[in-house]
Amino acid sequence: AADVLTFGETMLAAQLPGPLAVGAEARTTIAGAESNVAIGLARLGHRAVWAGLVGDDEPGRLILRTLRGEGVDTSHAGVRPEAPTGGMLRERRVADLVRVHYWRRHSAASLLAPPDLAPALRAGARVLHLTGITCALGTGPLEAVRDAAAHAHAHGWTVVLDVNHRHRLWTGEEAGRALLPLLEHVTVLIASDDELPVVTGAFAERPRGEEAAVDALLAAGVREVVVKRGGEGAAFRDGDGSRHTVPALRVPVRDTVGAGDAFCAGYLSGLLDGLPPERRLDRANTLGAFAVASDGDWEGLPRRDELGLLAAAPGTTIR
Ligand code: ADP
Ligand code: KDG
């Protein structure tokens, strides 16, 4: 069986070093939070399955070819001729300000429904990885997430939910309504500190602090809560009362997009390797640092033998 099953929308992505409106040249690649996680895991030698839908088009072929080339299992991915693969464009507007545009409405990925996942769920995995992005794609994808979470929970898999709030896709209230009912199935919840209100239903009331938000999540039955704090690192708490905080690695920042997904891949890798919480956070921070210190979401992620690379002195040439 697989180590990790994940699914969601992967898009054709164009990366522009300047504004589109004046004709900046683009680099084409693929982007998608779940496939970023799958690639991060595959690079570390874990068996990751990505089970999303693409269109029967060139972007779809680029996505499947890239994932296969990275060693991600796509045997449960689907091709849908009736809808196109989604797309996104990222323009570096000024130095460190990046603007994102999506073309994902009515995309092949948004056609996902529970039957699409049945074979992958039957095949089994140790961990199910879910994100809030998939839940935001429509009622079919949300139902697919719900069914997968219930199935995985019932079969004793570890269920990991990364909140990954995308305010371009839905509001915090909408996200809360979709995500709160999932919590009963969630083993590990991963969120940025600013995303916590989405999953505690607190956006409508007075905002709660991080401590109270994590209390609420643990009370809802989540076993572990992992909070990402950007350049500050990350924190962990579980239902048994243990807590850990681990600082981020100090690296030059090139491109922060994808840091959260890399972090998640690192955390899952640590879980699969049976590491204790503090060392899971270490590996998560290490992958997050690789993502921010390199261009692209996933291109710069480490293989297992490269995990120690960031400890080298700045400016080192590896010969
Ligand atoms: P997201 O990308 O989901 O918003 P964060 O910005 O919190 O998530 O970043 C995720 C993780 O990436 C952090 O917890 C940390 O491990 C790493 N990270 C983010 N920013 C930096 C940074 N400036 N330097 C080093 N590591 C970083
Ligand atoms: O986490 C990185 C993602 O933002 C990117 O790969 C595309 O899935 C994506 C999204 O919805 O923004």
Which tens digit of pLDDT belongs to each residue from 50-99? 999 999 999 999 999 999 999 999 999 999 999 999 999 999 988 878 89
30 occurs within a structural domain:
yes
161 occurs within a structural domain:
no
209 occurs within a structural domain:
no
35 occurs within a structural domain:
yes
Given the residues 3, 261, 282, 297, the one annotated as active site:
261
69 occurs within a structural domain:
yes
Rg of the chain over all Cα atoms, to the nearest angstrom = 19
- Pairing assessment for the beta strands 97-103 and 87-94 based on DSSP bridges: antiparallel
| Residue 277 token pair | 């919480």
Q: Identify the domain containing residue 16 by its residue range.
A: 8-45+53-109
Nearest to 129 by CA among 116, 120, 138: 120
41 occurs within a structural domain:
yes
89 occurs within a structural domain:
yes
Task: Mark 167-197 as b/e (b = at least 16 C-beta within 10 Å).
Answer: eebbebeebbebbeebbebbbbbbbbbebbb
Percentage helix, strand, coil for the chain under 3-state DSSP, each rounded to 5: 40, 25, 35
User: pLDDT by residue (tens digit) across 274-305?
Assistant: 999 999 999 999 999 999 999 999 999 999 99
Higher pLDDT, 107 or 205: 107
Q: Give the model's confidence band at 136: pLDDT under 50 very low, under 70 low, under 90 confident, else very high.
A: very high
* The pLDDT of residue 209: 87
Amino acid at 92: R
* The pLDDT of residue 59: 98
CATH number at residue 69: 3.40.1190.30
Q: Which atom of ligand 2 is nearest to the CA of 164?
A: 1
Q: Give the model's confidence band at 203: pLDDT under 50 very low, under 70 low, under 90 confident, else very high.
A: low
Q: Is the pLDDT of residue 314 over 90?
A: no
Q: Report percent pLDDT > 90 for the chain.
A: 91
Q: Give the model's confidence band at 202: pLDDT under 50 very low, under 70 low, under 90 confident, else very high.
A: low
Q: Is the pLDDT of residue 208 over 90?
A: no
Mean pLDDT value of segment 136-163:
98
Ligand 1 pocket by C-beta < 6 Å: which residues? 192, 228-231, 233-234, 248-249, 251, 253, 256, 259-260, 263, 285, 288-289, 292
* CA 131 – CA 278 distance, rounded (Å): 23
Evaluate whether 253 touches 230 at the Cβ level (below 8 Å): no
123 occurs within a structural domain:
no
Which ligand is nearest to the Cα of residue 286, counting in written order?
1
Q: Is the pLDDT of residue 206 over 70?
A: no
Q: What angle do CA 9, 216, 182 make, to 5 degrees?
A: 35
Which ligand is nearest to the Cα of residue 235, counting in written order?
1
Mean pLDDT value of segment 182-210:
85
Residue 215 bears catalytic tag: no
Q: Is the pLDDT of residue 201 over 80?
A: no
Q: How many domains does the chain have?
A: 1
